[in-house]
Amino acid sequence: MPLKLRRRLSAPALAALALAALLQGCGSTKPVDETAGWSPNRLYSEAIDERNAGNFERAVTLFERLEGRAAGTPLAQQAQLDKAYTHYKGDEPAKAQAAIDRFMRLHPASPALDYALYLKGLVNFNDNLGLFGSLARQDLSERDQKAAKESFDAFRELVTRFPDSRYAPDARARMTYVVNSLAQYEVHVARYYYSRGAYLAAINRSQAALTDYVDAPALEEALFIMVQSYDALGMTQLRDDTARVMRASYPNSEYLAKGFKRRDGAWWKLW
């Protein structure tokens, strides 16, 4: 500061400037990294312990430090995957998805790519898509449907590229659940339209289920809704044609004899 300017400042002003400079210096002090002397193995172990204890933010921080210190090694790749899994366990699907996508982009030939795909499917998988409890009280939002389809795509890529992966059997089971869930939702909407007398809408929704979801259990009811809707509209030829398809596809169907029924159950009991 020029000498002439300093002479114009009072003593209290100079004291205030000195205090501000002192505080600024203290604020710029870097926090001590208590992990500075830790080995990569200790970092990994501590990160796992933090995650198991539910301290997800702390675990992510440790995995990120491990990734930096073990760069270029398999342990760094493991840290990236564990960070993604930690975000998933911490109910942060967007961050988990971003971490997985980054891993797949950086390591397209990694031996852990099958696990990355499996984890990507899990992040978007929801085992309460509408088959737990009453569908009449629980609808599938557009977001849930989008996530379910993304989950299905990840699992499908896994079983296609790595059919012998240890994760493939569970991925196939979850794919079946997703298909059944989405088909059941379409049929639920079709049934709703039918109950309100919107027979054309019921037919269209049933046809969408039949077109998009092959071999799903809900398709039996979709055909029945179409038979009933065509009958209500007086379209007897289409009614009879659909009924013939239904009898051929489901020779033991109880719908034609007993009418509508409700299917409840957990995802692992659907097949």
pLDDT, average across residues 40-68 = 95
What DSSP string describes 135-174?
Answer: GGG-PPPHHHHHHHHHHHHHHHHHHHH-TT-TTHHHHHHH
Using an 8 Å Cβ cutoff, are 154 and 147 in contact?
no
Percentage of residues of the chain with pLDDT beyond 90: 65
Instruction: Please state which architecture CATH assigns to domain 40-109.
Output: Alpha Horseshoe (1.25)
pLDDT in tens, 111-162: 999 999 999 999 999 866 544 334 434 555 566 788 888 999 999 999 999 9
Q: Which amino acid is at 222?
A: A
Provide the terminal-to-terminal Cα distance of the chain, rounded to the nearest Å.
Answer: 81
Q: Is the dihedral of CA 140, 141, 142, 148 positive or negative?
A: negative
How far is C-alpha 271 from the chain's CA centre?
A: 22
Q: pLDDT band for position 91 (50/70/90)? A: very high
pLDDT in tens, 148-164: 889 999 999 999 999 99
pLDDT, residue 7, reads 45
pLDDT, residue 37, reads 83
pTM, two decimals, is: 0.73
For the chain, the domains span 40-109
pLDDT in tens, 38-51: 999 999 999 999 99
- Residue 87 to residues 44, 82, 91, Cα–Cα distance (Å): 16, 9, 6
pLDDT, residue 158, reads 98
pLDDT in tens, 1-30: 333 434 454 555 545 555 555 555 555 556
pLDDT in tens, 177-217: 999 988 988 999 999 999 999 999 999 999 999 999 988 99
pLDDT, residue 4, reads 40
